[in-house]
Amino acid sequence: MALASNSGADSGATLTAMPIPAGTLGIGVAYDPSQAGMTSVARGVSLAVRNLNARGGNVRFVARTSTPGVTSAVQSATELRDDPGVIGVVGHSESGSSLDAIPVYEDVEHEGEHAVVAVSPTATSPRLTGHSEWFFRVCPNDLAASEAVARYALDSLGARRAAVIYRNDSYGRDWTAAFVRTFGSGGGEIVQRDPYLSGVTEWQAYAGYMRFREADVFLFPGSVEDAEEAIRAVRATGADIPFIGGDAASALTAKAREFAGARYTAFFDSREATTPVAAAFVEAFRAEFGVEPDQRAALAFDAALLIGEAGLAVGADRARIREWISRVGSDIPPLDGVAGPIAFDEHHDPKDRRVIVALVEAP
């Protein structure tokens, strides 16, 4: 698959809140501009739509968002579901929003009459596994990610004494439990395991205890804002303990000068874009937007591409689109995605997708 460059041709890639014109297939985007990373999601979807339209033929695609100002996941999902031109939705990006919106996409209130498939680029909660026949995701879940990080800490860093400070919610607790299990089975010891609450945590006390316990790796499933405070506190003690954050910590790259050396979990890294599809995506993204694509852009591209391929294969029938997507990776061959093969197991989780531990590099 080659990605089309922006040569001035009408791509139909601009995100719009207008109803879908007749004869056009709409790829909905659960776009909340108040959430971090939404610009990347929009850019990834726009490139996927351009790619689909560049193939020629009579089928045209457009990316459709909800009305400007709508930030509620339920309201956004309702607008997209109720537009008959939308054949599938990219989103939601957050696990909580996905859980809230799934009953809308299932159209529970009308017994499924208007149900539409949703494909999340980055919702990672294990609670979403098998949650709905109308929901899919193209990112590994938190359990797969934390297990991969545990193996990386053991094998690549040679760590044997881990400190874990986790956000005290389902994400932090689930991530930590999977990490502890895998790290312990590999001969590692958990020397610190503490929850935190944003805005009320004594980071210096946590950091001091981490140094006292002689931790040789610091795991942090939490937000990027709290990660920044935690890293600063540990460094202030004079300790040099390798930091590994969850996927949210990828935003540390925006302050690479300060946080160089920190690591984060990722499902795509443009520096490792070696497949033809990934390399073409990175090149097109750089040319169009003048920056490196992040994992949100790559995964949003894959989600939109999947929906578009389903539309090309079976037309605009929503039930047939859902059924076609569910077969990708079984009797339908995997698709070549930017972040790896696109294929699903029986729980609608992706198969054979990589988890990367990426490094924040100094500019």
Each residue's pLDDT tens digit, 162-176: 999 999 998 899 999
- In a domain, residue 53? The reply is yes
Confidence of residue 9 (pLDDT cuts 50, 70, 90): very low
Q: Look up residue 84 and give its amino acid.
A: P
Structural contact between residues 48 and 305, judged by C-beta atoms closer than 8 angstroms: yes
- In a domain, residue 338? The reply is yes
The pairing of strands 217-220 and 161-167 is parallel
CA–CA dist 273, 186 (Å, integer): 30
Confidence of residue 68 (pLDDT cuts 50, 70, 90): confident
Neighbouring residues of 309: CB distance < 8 A, sequence distance ≥ 6: 335
Please indicate, yes or no, whether residues 38 and 93 belong to a single structural domain of this protein.
yes
Q: Which residue has the higher pLDDT, 254 or 330?
A: 330
Please indicate, yes or no, whether residues 278 and 242 belong to a single structural domain of this protein.
no
Please indicate, yes or no, whether residues 99 and 177 belong to a single structural domain of this protein.
no
CA angle 125, 234, 194 (to 5 degrees): 45
- Over residues 290-296, the mean pLDDT reads 93
Confidence check: pLDDT of 10 > 60:
no
Please indicate, yes or no, whether residues 106 and 217 belong to a single structural domain of this protein.
no
Each residue's pLDDT tens digit, 318-339: 999 999 999 999 999 999 999 9
Confidence of residue 34 (pLDDT cuts 50, 70, 90): confident
CA–CA dist 86, 79 (Å, integer): 10
Please indicate, yes or no, whether residues 129 and 149 belong to a single structural domain of this protein.
no
Confidence check: pLDDT of 126 > 80:
yes
Q: Quick one: pLDDT at residue 3?
A: 53
- In a domain, residue 8? The reply is no
- Over residues 93-113, the mean pLDDT reads 95
Confidence check: pLDDT of 155 > 90:
yes
Please indicate, yes or no, whether residues 135 and 278 belong to a single structural domain of this protein.
yes
Count of domains forming the chain = 2
CA–CA dist 351, 313 (Å, integer): 21
Confidence check: pLDDT of 6 > 70:
no
Confidence of residue 213 (pLDDT cuts 50, 70, 90): very high
Tell me which of 266, 300, 326 is where a domain ends: 266
Q: Quick one: pLDDT at residue 11?
A: 39
Element (H, E) at 75: helix 73-82
- In a domain, residue 16? The reply is no
What is the pTM (predicted TM-score) of this model?
0.90
CA–CA dist 159, 220 (Å, integer): 15
- Over residues 215-232, the mean pLDDT reads 96
CATH code at position 119: 3.40.50.2300
CA–CA dist 157, 154 (Å, integer): 6
Tell me which of 266, 294, 309 is where a domain ends: 266
- Over residues 285-310, the mean pLDDT reads 96
- In a domain, residue 307? The reply is yes
Please indicate, yes or no, whether residues 135 and 201 belong to a single structural domain of this protein.
no
- In a domain, residue 10? The reply is no
Q: Of the given ranges (50-64, 147-161, 223-237, 277-291), which has the lowest mean pLDDT?
A: 50-64
The range of the structural domain enclosing residue 77 comes to: 24-140+271-354
Confidence of residue 237 (pLDDT cuts 50, 70, 90): very high
Tell me which of 242, 266, 290 is where a domain ends: 266
- Distances in whole angstroms, Cα of residue 78 to Cα of each of 19, 65, 116, 202, 237: 13, 11, 10, 41, 50
- In a domain, residue 302? The reply is yes
Confidence check: pLDDT of 55 > 90:
no
Each residue's pLDDT tens digit, 128-142: 999 999 999 999 999
